[in-house]
A = this chain, B = another copy of it.
Amino acid sequence: MQLELAAARLAELGHPTRLAIFRLLVKAGQHGISVGDIQQQLDIPGSTLSHHLSRMIKVNLVEQQRDGRTLYCRLKFIEVEALLGFLYDECCVAEGQPGWLSMPNRQC
């Protein structure tokens, strides 16, 4: 991933409300979660939520799919992975000695 895209995506995660949305989307997994459910859990105005979602969609971190009158939001896990991969690649090369980041030791 190129730096510009990574920065754009990080900026989207870099807002408390959107990071909270992100967290809900992760928990929801491939199935996704409806806009209404997000709104209920975060307790924010619909228009504000829509605004944040549209931003996350614009940088390709989220996609939506309609089912009746309900819109489901799903995290684009592949793209999240690509973003974290970028951070990894940038973070693991401190002064030529790889592995300063203890992340790989986590069991996920």
Contacts and interface: CB of A to CB of B under 8 A. Distances in A.
Contacts of A90: 22-23, 26
Oligomeric state, in copies: 2
For chain A, which range describes its interface: under 10, 10 to 19, 20 to 34, or 35 or more residues? 35 or more
A104 B108 contact: yes
A102 B90 CA distance: 17
A58 B98 CA distance: 27
Contact of A7 (B4, B13, B26): B13
Contact of A31 (B87, B91, B95): B95
Interface of A: 3-4, 6-16, 18-20, 22-23, 26-31, 77, 80-81, 84-85, 87-88, 90-95, 97-104, 106-108
